[in-house]
Amino acid sequence: MGKVDDQLRILIVDDDDLLMSEAEALGHPAIRFSSLSPGQVSASRGAFGDRDVVIVGVDTSGGLDLVADLCARSGMPPVIALAGRASHGKSLEHVLLLAELRGAALSLPKPIDGIELALAAIDLLRARTGSTQMAGVAKDLERRLEY
């Protein structure tokens, strides 16, 4: 699994253009977002150990299965599931719970902005590792939320 050093590396696996726009608009030097399509990630067998957190949109066909697949891979960083809508008569809360049952370390509703997404990733890593390395970055992001 990737280790946070001077930059938090977050992979977004979602076809949601608005989500990627939010991430890119964050523009924080200590946070680097990258993206791959669900198909690219599904076809790969890698563990994405060069990333610190993987974010997966689960409100598309196969999204929950992708979360389960990624979480089962050895050496994977933590996975955060995002959903903006439910399908097949399920509530959004039910879909988010299913994502956690399939292995996601955290599940969050959309829409979500880049700051909230980065803070969730930092909090998740802090809870898992006990590291306060990104505390200054978190404080900076929290100040941005105040404005």
Q: What pLDDT score was predicted for residue 146?
A: 85
The whole domain housing 122 covers: 8-142
What's this model's pTM, rounded to 2 decimal places? 0.92
Domain count, the chain: 1
Q: What pLDDT score was predicted for residue 85?
A: 84
Tokens of 116: 């909230």
Residue 54, domain member (yes or no): yes
CATH number at residue 57: 3.40.50.2300
Residue 147, domain member (yes or no): no
Beta strands in 14-138 (DSSP E): 31-36, 53-57, 79-83, 106-109
Q: What pLDDT score was predicted for residue 60?
A: 80
Q: What is the 3-state secondary structure (H, E, C) of 21-39?
A: HHHHHHCCCCEEEEEECHH
Residue 107, domain member (yes or no): yes
Residue 1, domain member (yes or no): no
Answer for the pair 64, 82: CB distance below 8 angstroms, yes or no. no
Residue 2, domain member (yes or no): no
Residue 64, domain member (yes or no): yes
Q: What pLDDT score was predicted for residue 2?
A: 47
Residue 97, domain member (yes or no): yes
Residue 80, domain member (yes or no): yes
Residues of the chain with pLDDT under 70: 1-5
